[in-house]
Amino acid sequence: MTAMLARIGRMILALARELSDEAAYARHLSVTGRKHSVAEWRSFSDLKHRRKYQNAKCC
């Protein structure tokens, strides 16, 4: 029973990391080979938002 609760807890934590962009940022750092910093987080966030909002949506 505790193993199942632990598994559910890990799944919830993984979901929270995906929703908060923490997992995407970790993948970004891994791919680019950079280290975590405030400037790197800002760069990652700006790029993500630029990609998301650069194309105007119709209707």
Instruction: Check whether 57 has a pLDDT greater than 80.
Output: no
Distance CA 45, CA 38 (A): 11
Domain boundaries, the chain: 2-52
Alpha helices, DSSP H, located in 1-59: 2-19, 22-32, 38-53
pLDDT tens digits for range 2-50: 999 999 999 999 999 988 889 999 999 999 999 999 999 999 999 988 9
Sign of the torsion angle spanned by Cα atoms 31, 38, 18, 9:
positive
The pTM of the full predicted model, rounded to 2 decimals, is 0.70
Q: What is the pLDDT of residue 30?
A: 96
Q: What is the pLDDT of residue 59?
A: 65
Q: What is the pLDDT of residue 58?
A: 73
